[in-house]
Amino acid sequence: MECKVSWLGKDGMAFVAETGSGHMVAMDGAPEGGGRNLAPRPMEMVLLGAGGCTAYDVVMILKKSRQDIIDCNVTLKAERASQDPKVFTKIHFHFTVSGRNLNPATVERAINLSHDKYCSASIMLAKSAELTHSFEIVDA
**Mean pLDDT for all residues in the chain:** 97
What does the pLDDT read at residue 130?
A: 98
pTM attached to this predicted model = 0.93
Query: pLDDT tens across 75-122, in order?
Result: 999 999 999 999 999 999 999 999 999 999 999 999 999 999 999 999
What does the pLDDT read at residue 104?
A: 98
Rounded Cα distance between 49 and 33, Å, is 23
What does the pLDDT read at residue 116?
A: 96
What does the pLDDT read at residue 100?
A: 97
* Domain-wise residue ranges, the chain: 4-33, 42-139
Nearest one of 29, 34, 25, 21 to 6, comparing CA atoms = 25
Class of domain 42-139: alpha beta
Write the DSSP string, 42-109.
Answer: HHHHHHHHHHHHHHHHHHHHHHHTT-EEEEEEEEEEEEE-SSSS--EEEEEEEEEEEEES--HHHHHH
Distances (CA, A) of 47 to 30, 76, 138: 16, 7, 25
